[in-house]
Structure 1
Amino acid sequence: MTEKLYYLDSYLKECEAEIVDVIKEEEKIFVVLDKTPFYPEGGGQPSDTGSINGVKVIYVYEKDNIIYHQVEKELKCGKAMCSVEFERRFDFMQQHSGEHLISGAIYRLYEGNNKGFHLGEDYVTLDIDIYPFTDNMVHEIEGEVNRYIYMNEPFTTYIVDKENLNKTPSRKKIDVEGDIRIVEAKDMDCCPCCGTHVLRTGEIGLIKILKVEKYKGMSRIYIKCGKRAYEDFKVKHDIISTLSRQFSTDEKCLIKNVNKQSEEILDLKRQLNDLKTKLAEEEALKLIEDSNESFIFKSYENKSFEEVKCIGEALSKKPYIFILTSLKDKNILFVNNTDIELSCGNIFKEHINKFNGKGGGRNEKAQGSFNNIEDLDKFYLFLCEMVRNTK
């Protein structure tokens, strides 16, 4: 059994211990200590990292009351100096303690139960058996939790047996054999937990709910606490400040100005599309006037493929077979809008690979793309010749 120093003092950064076993499993090396400051992965919280005698500890887990430390290089049994990467540990302490307060507030205010918890490197998620969560609910939970944080109330931990578990104000009743560890923030949350926590709520600093989304009929809540919440605010504040300068307005009027400009842009886009459609129709009419056959071939050097497709849309109203290319984008459009039996899709499927192109389509329409203009031109000429010879 490994003595768990992180339960005696979650702020312990360094200590001496004894390496009692070194285990090699394939390409992995694990060290067992008589006592350890390293928290093993569990309860939704990632493991600590750090070093043992200067060798990096990359992962820690517990099995049968023995804690195994995966290290980068082999170590020998004997005395060891252990050092925990405390910035990472304290970050997890802030997140995990914050998650408890959020879960407790949800349970107290709305009788919602935490059905899942994940503490990741970037954010924390809680799965709550309530759906939907309204904006007012989110605001009430945030306000209640942050008010409690500012009161700087203590987190207490204690061990109870199975019989006394039901006597605690725990929001979560679980069926266990033997003793279980309880983490409590009085009048806010009480729950069985094996993780590490701050001593007082003030050390969390701040809790922010980022978003809520539907998940398996429940609500998945994304939160950031402490330094993570501060860093998130800093990034978003910089974005808002930049946008405020660009729109020459203050933060309060920013959304109004953005919405106004978005409406103006949409209106301009509609006008532009109308003009593109009109130009395409005029170009299609010109192509028809210049054609003495039932087919039209045209290769455009400076038009985008979107413009070419607009012309094709206008031509599709008339009974023509037409082949249009955009040399600018190296694309081709092939359409059969006549009664002539000619499958555009089958022709592409059978021949386009021979010209190093990619594409496909249906009987009446196909389109393709090429890496270079030379291959596009060859395929274009090939299709033109095939259409001319079609009876």
Structure 2
Amino acid sequence: MEQRSIDHRRLYYENGMLTEFDAVVKSCKAAKNGFAVTLDRTAFFPGGGGQEADTGEINGTRLLSVFEEEGEVVHLLPAELSEGMGVSCRIDRIPRLRKMQGHGGEHILSGIMHRLFGTVNAGFHLGKNEIVTVDTRTPVTDGQLRQAEAEANLAIAENIPINAYFPTPKELEAMTFRSKIDFEGEVRIVEIEGIDVCACCAPHFASTGSIGSVKILEAIPWKGGTRITLVCGLAAFEDHVEKHDSVKRISVTLSAKTDEVAEAVENRLEKAEEAKKSVAALSRAMRDIRIENTAAAEKCLCIFDEYADAEGLRDYANRLAEKCAVAAAFAPAKTGFTYAAASKKHNMRTLAPVINSALGGKGGGSETMIFGSVTAEKEAVESFFKTLEP
């Protein structure tokens, strides 16, 4: 197959690792937020296909943005440049490398899933911190993802050449390749032999080894398919370091080996759940005693329980309402108290704004019971309910 570069002015087509180059200013026009500069050649990628544009500088001046307009790569600068002058350009190397790792890893994983399972991509995005999301049109199982991830990392280890080229229209017509859109005009193909053939306009490495690794972080159902979140290369390494540090901290906290922390956490949670049930049972028993020993009142009853949860407050209010006109139960919160209040005789919806206004609270509910929180001190709450006329 004839492999020919259509536009030698876009240096990233042929060398994704080129981050420093010289060029000549073709044009410089005043724009809304600066000066729009075009060059006789450029290695700055203007963004596209789910990947953001490069960042960097021209003659030491930071670029405001890079974008494509009417077939030209436009470099937006805060200062004017003279047409015909020579300039030295520098792309931010590490961000470019990280983006190529993420994009290349996506090509490999998507190509493998397409080959193995017939998966078709509906979308791709390379976001902040080079976190990649891939949306598929059909569901992908956990087992399929594990298989595809393993094969993707093997393809990286084998350092397979990555070839980018522009086939002729006739050659393109006879080709089978992945693409999310219909193209008009010239199409650039990025091919990883035996792994993937995909239409792509972005910079790529010369071989898969530079991608480093692929790690799937998450897969969730998405619009009838699956949204896959992954990281590659340096981003995958950083994710590994962060999680390994977390595992070591858990290991020390639970006095467990690093390869046994999952079991240790599960055991600790089981014990915590058992303790929670014991506390709940004790709390219910104490609540029963307090309710039984609370004398009936003509107007209001107000009770505080530092251990009561939402269900406990509900139980207090509901059962104490049998002994008075209005019953309220309070438990400490980060600020003030949470509460439940109930009545068998009065409409609690009409009392809610009165309580909230007097005690700096908020909340509401039904005609028989309301829930909320107050910021008032305990003494103020007790005083309010002593004088409340329902």
TM bin (shorter chain): 0.7 to 0.9
In structure 2, give the amino acid aligned to 1:37.
A
**Local SS of the residue matching 1:211:** strand
Whether the 8 Å contact between 2:360 and 2:376 is mirrored in structure 1 is no
CA contact (8 A) 2:36 2:74 kept: yes
Change (3 A) 1:54 1:263: same
Q: Secondary structure at the match of 2:174?
A: coil
Q: Secondary structure at the match of 1:254?
A: helix
1:384 equivalent among 381, 386, 389? 386
2:328 aligned partner:
323
Mean Cα displacement is larger for which, 26-35 or 177-186?
Answer: 26-35
Q: Residue type of the partner of 2:80? A: L
Q: How far did 1:169 drift? A: 4.1
C-alpha contact (below 8 Å) 2:339/2:373 kept by paired residues: no
Q: Show the counterpart of 1:189.
A: 196
Q: Which residue of structure 1 lines up, in the alignment, with residue 94 of structure 2?
A: 87
1:228 Cα deviation (Å)? Answer: 0.9
The answer to whether the Cα contact below 8 Å between 1:162 and 1:176 also exists between their aligned partners in 2 is: no
Residues 1-391 of structure 1: pairs in structure 2 closer than 5 A: 3-71=9-77, 73-77=78-82, 78-122=85-129, 123-131=131-139, 133-172=140-179, 175-288=182-295, 291=296, 293-298=297-302, 300=304, 303-304=305-306, 306=308, 310=312, 313-314=315-316, 316-317=318-319, 319=322, 320=324, 321-326=326-331, 330-331=336-337, 333=339, 335-338=341-344, 340=345, 342-350=346-354, 352-353=356-357, 356-373=360-377, 378=380, 381-387=383-389
Q: State the one-letter code of the partner of 1:317.
A: R
Q: Aligned in 2, Cα 1:130/1:326: closer, same or farther, shift over 3 Å?
A: closer
Q: List per-residue Cα deviations over 1:282-325 (Å, max 9, x = no partner).
A: 1112213xx4x33443364xx43836972651452351322344
The residue type equivalent to 2:87 in the other structure is A
The answer to whether the 8 Å contact 2:216/2:231 transfers is: yes
- Give, in angstroms, the shift of residue 54 of structure 1: 1.2
Distance change >3 Å, CA 351–CA 232, structure 1 → 2: closer
Measured against aligned partners, the alpha-carbon deviations of 1:354-378 in whole angstroms (never above 9, x if no partner) come to 65433323222234433342xx755
Q: Which amino acid aligns with 1:347?
A: L
Write the deviation string for residues 101-128 of structure 1: whole angstroms up to 9, x where unpaired.
Answer: 1111011111111121111123101112
Greater shift after overlay, 308-317 or 271-280? 308-317
Kept after mapping to 2: 8 A contact 1:29/1:74: yes
Distance of aligned partners of 1:264 and 1:334 in 2 relative to their CA distance in 1, 3 Å threshold: closer
Secondary structure at 2:128's aligned position in 1?
Answer: coil
Looking at structure 1, the residues matched to 314 and 128 of structure 2 have their Cα atoms a distance apart, in angstroms, of 51
SS of equivalent residue, structure 2 residue 357: helix
Greater RCO, CA 8 A, separation 6+:
2
1-side partners of 2:301 and 2:137: how far apart? 62
Which blocks of at least 5 consecutive residues in structure 2 are unaligned? 1-6
Aligned residues: 377
Shift of 1:36: 1.3
How big is the shift at 1:273? Answer: 0.6
The aligned residue for residue 4 of structure 2 is none
CA contact (8 A) 2:100 2:203 kept: yes
1:98-156: CA deviations, max 9, x gaps?
1111111011111111121111123101112221x222211211121111111111101
Choose 342-351 or 116-125, whichever is displaced more. Answer: 342-351
- Return the alpha-carbon distance in structure 2 between the equivalents of residues 327 and 249 of structure 1: 35
2-side partners of 1:308 and 1:225: how far apart? 45
Find the residue that maps to 1:363 and give its secondary structure.
Answer: coil
Contact 1:323–1:332 (CA under 8 A) maintained in structure 2: no
CA contact (8 A) 1:14 1:84 kept: yes
User: Matches of 1:263 and 1:253 in 2, distance apart?
Assistant: 16
Q: Is the 1:116–1:126 Cα contact (8 Å) retained in structure 2? A: yes
Check whether the contact 1:352–1:379 (CA below 8 A) recurs between aligned residues. Answer: no
Q: C-alpha deviations, 1:17-48, integer Å up to 9, x for none?
A: 22333334433443222221211011111100
Deviation per CA, 1:159-186: give whole Å up to 9, x if none.
Answer: 1233211323423496433221111011
**Structure 1 gap ranges (5+):** none
Give 1:126's aligned amino acid: V
- Considering only aligned residues, what root-mean-square deviation do their CA atoms show, in Å? 2.6
CA contact (8 A) 1:154 1:185 kept: yes
SS in 1 for 2:202: coil
Amino acid paired to 2:194: D
Amino acid of the residue matched to residue 315 of structure 2? E
